[in-house]
Amino acid sequence: MTEAATDAATPLVVSPANSILGHSTGRRRRLRLPIAAVLVAGFGTLMLAAVASVLILGLSSAGRNTFALLNDKADLAIDSVVVRVRHQLDPARDQITYLSALIESGKLDPNDQKAMRDTLRGALAATPQVTGVGFSPLNQVIIRAGRINGEMIESTLDLSTSAEMTAFMAEARERQGPYWAEPVWSPEAKTTLLTLRMAVRRDDRFIGMLIVAVSVGDLSRFLSELYVDEGLSAFVLYDREHVLAHQALRYKEFDFSKPAGLPLPRIDQVDDPVLASLWRNGRPADAFAIPGRNSANAQVVEIGDDSHLFLLRPLEGYGAQPLTVGINYRLDEVGVEIERLWMTGLVGFGILLVSVGTALWIGRAISHQIGRLAAAAASVSALDFRGAPTLPDSRFRELANAADAFNAMVAGLRWFETYVPKGLVLRLIRRGSRGGDASGLASEERQVTVMFTDIRGFSNLAEDLGAAETAALLNSHFTLLASCIEAEGGTVDKFIGDAVMAFWGAPEIQHDHAARALRAAHAIAIALRADNVKRRAVGLPAVRVRVGLHSGPVVVGNIGSASRINYTIVGDSVNTAARIEELGAGLQGDAEIIVLVGSTTAAESGGCVTLAPIGAKSLRGRSGQLDVFRLEV
């Protein structure tokens, strides 16, 4: 038996003294203090020093603290606007890069008019931030898709004689990657568009230009929504004189059909007298220039008796010059921060008086409940979810919430024990994953053997069954397959409808992974035939199964999102195994089970089973042919 096989077969003993987390029992015992004493002596002293210091320092530096808090609020506010502007414009870059890759790789033929229209329409539908998308070949007859008045249209536009378009094409030919051009006026949509352009090359030869357009009106629309949702008066300037987006422009129409400079309104054309006075009456707000902070450029504008604060930040990457993102609000909001600071001091002093007198009682009550929580947590650390006690309620809200959360967690873990293979978890922890820390299992390339199974004609088999009967059939079938797979050290990756995906060679290294998989397939065939004998004896139809096996390199490890992650495998070898299983549909005939094996698995079998060659076969979705073998039972 190989070293990997020995490791897989060794039982893992878990106990509170030697938990699954691998805590060392040989370390010197640390000094531990009663939590009640810590709360009285520690919290009382720390709170006295902290609250008193905060009160003194707060009163002496109220002005600076107030502006620091306002600076934080302003930074967060302008960050929110910048993020939303990027969210509105960045999908255009993603879409143009995607379309360029399709054309340059040959997956999309620009000469295929129908394919181009379908692709452009799909790209437009997938990105609601985008107003239009088009492709101009060398003849400058543009294929395009766009939105006008909420309706999606497709058309071609002949600009073969347009000198302006010829200049655009020449400019694109000299550029690398996507670039934002100056705003242009769309007579059809009757709005100004920001256009992102990108040269398309195939084999280093310029074949055309992609254009993605974003409506300036859409930018103003979402800034208006930001004003309604968060009360922020935000704007985007194209340069010092022209406004790209403003909440007041949502319902304001301009006609820039006659070429006279940029097709954008000037700051004095927007219904915002404060913004119109920005460059004329604005003065720097030095109180916001805090050293060491990445604050926005602050300007104060006084209109009558009101003072307004402007926060401006350059936004790179959307044109030859940076855009300017800004927000403004009234300076009298500072008074709210001062009042809040004084209230914090008063509340802190009151908390200090109350906490010192009640710390002993609180400490004793908390320590008792925390002791119960620690004991229950010890059971969870040993993966003994069934043995973890139920925590009682508490008069303290946080402890009651903690008890409820812990009890809910344990109940959830008991369900997880049903859905997540505990054996796999134990094997992963044995590899040193630090008690289930997903960061300890970095993805890596491994040589594994992948198995796919599928029930032939399952729809016909289950059409006369009720929901409970169908579930019972699948549960019985999956139990049969899983027992054979796990008996050979395999990992059941997932159940997909009536199919099973499993693999060998991870998480432990199994040098004989191919032989293990073949033996498991052989065991499945024998078990399935025996089960079908029982089914026929009670008048039930036989279950017919296809099995595909393939060995090769895959990426194995923790794969998923922050909210859900699986220890699984991905790669071409997985797809090949699935295609080999599909191949059995045309070769099974009346057999109860057919097991098809790829050439790499057959080569590594070590003669553990009998394999019959059936020749080189073409697999769906793959170029070339693969030698395939059939396992004989």
Q: In the prediction, which pLDDT does 321 show?
A: 87
Task: Give a yes or no: residue 246 inside a domain.
Answer: yes
**C-alpha torsion 524→529→533→539, nearest 10:** 90
Buried b (16+ CB within 10 A) or exposed e, 425-438: bebbbbeebeeeee
604 and 457 fall within a common domain: yes
Q: In the prediction, which pLDDT does 482 show?
A: 93
User: Which of 289, 317, 346 is the last residue in one of the domains?
Assistant: 346
193 and 321 fall within a common domain: yes
Q: At what angle do helices 467-487 and 513-537 cross, to 10 degrees?
A: 140
Which helix or strand (DSSP H or E) is residue 360 part of?
A: helix 334-381
Model pLDDT for residues 96-135, shown as the tens digit of each residue: 999 999 999 889 898 898 999 999 999 888 888 888 999 9
CATH code for the domain of 468: 3.30.70.1230
Whose tokens are 């006690």? That residue is: 389
Mean pLDDT in residue range 317-338: 75
Banded model confidence at residue 548, pLDDT cuts 50, 70, 90: very high
Q: How large a percentage of the chain has pLDDT more than 90?
A: 32
Model pLDDT for residues 570-585, shown as the tens digit of each residue: 999 999 999 999 999 9
Task: Give a yes or no: residue 354 inside a domain.
Answer: no
Q: How large a percentage of the chain has pLDDT more than 70?
A: 75
pTM of the model as a whole: 0.44
Banded model confidence at residue 449, pLDDT cuts 50, 70, 90: very high
What is the C-alpha separation between 203 and 627, in angstroms, rounded?
A: 34
Pairing of strands 593-598, 545-560: parallel
167 and 274 fall within a common domain: yes
Q: In the prediction, which pLDDT does 340 show?
A: 66
- Residue 20, pLDDT above cutoff 60: no
Mean pLDDT in residue range 314-338: 77
User: Which of 327, 346, 365 is the last residue in one of the domains?
Assistant: 346
Mean pLDDT in residue range 539-565: 90
The rounded mean pLDDT for the chain is 80
Model pLDDT for residues 371-424, shown as the tens digit of each residue: 777 777 777 776 667 777 787 887 778 778 888 888 888 777 777 766 666 666
455 and 328 fall within a common domain: no
CATH code for the domain of 198: 3.30.450.20
Task: Give a yes or no: residue 489 inside a domain.
Answer: yes
Banded model confidence at residue 290, pLDDT cuts 50, 70, 90: very low
Task: Give a yes or no: residue 6 inside a domain.
Answer: no
448 and 310 fall within a common domain: no
541 and 441 fall within a common domain: yes
Q: In the prediction, which pLDDT does 135 show?
A: 94
What is the C-alpha separation between 13 and 10, in angstroms, rounded?
A: 9
Q: Among 51-55, 76-80, 436-440, whose mean pLDDT is lowest?
A: 436-440
Higher pLDDT, 538 or 346: 538
DSSP 333-352: GHHHHHHHHHHHHHHHHHHH
79 and 222 fall within a common domain: yes
- In the chain, how many domains are there? 2
Q: Which residues on adjacent β-strands are paired with residue 551?
A: 449
What is the C-alpha separation between 153 and 117, in angstroms, rounded?
A: 10
308 and 440 fall within a common domain: no
Banded model confidence at residue 64, pLDDT cuts 50, 70, 90: low
Helix (H, G, I), strand (E, B) or coil at 69: helix
Mean pLDDT in residue range 269-286: 79
- Residue 436, pLDDT above cutoff 60: no
Sign of the alpha-carbon dihedral angle for 552, 558, 561, 563: positive
Reading the block at residue 434, the tokens are: 């630090």
User: Which of 306, 322, 346 is the last residue in one of the domains?
Assistant: 346
Task: Give a yes or no: residue 416 inside a domain.
Answer: no
Q: Among 20-29, 258-267, 339-348, 575-584, whose mean pLDDT is lowest?
A: 20-29
**Helix %, strand %, coil % for the chain, to 5?**
45, 25, 30
Task: Give a yes or no: residue 529 inside a domain.
Answer: yes
What is the C-alpha separation between 337 and 253, in angstroms, rounded?
A: 39
* Cis-peptide, bond into residue 110, ω within 30° of zero: no
Residue among 385, 454, 475, 467 at smallest CA distance from 422: 385
Measured CA to CA in angstroms, residue 172 lies from 89, 206, 208, 210 at distances of 20, 9, 9, 9
328 and 444 fall within a common domain: no
Task: Give a yes or no: residue 300 inside a domain.
Answer: yes
Higher pLDDT, 288 or 497: 497
Q: In the prediction, which pLDDT does 266 show?
A: 87
Q: Among 334-338, 500-504, 599-603, whose mean pLDDT is lowest?
A: 334-338
332 and 447 fall within a common domain: no
Mean pLDDT in residue range 13-29: 47
Model pLDDT for residues 515-536, shown as the tens digit of each residue: 999 999 999 999 999 999 999 9
CB under 8 Å, gap of 24 or more: what pairs does 247-253 form? 247/220, 247/223, 248/220, 248/272, 249/216, 249/217, 249/220, 250/217, 250/220, 250/221, 250/223, 250/224, 253/190
Task: Give a yes or no: residue 588 inside a domain.
Answer: yes
159 and 294 fall within a common domain: yes
State the residue range of the domain holding 551.
432-632
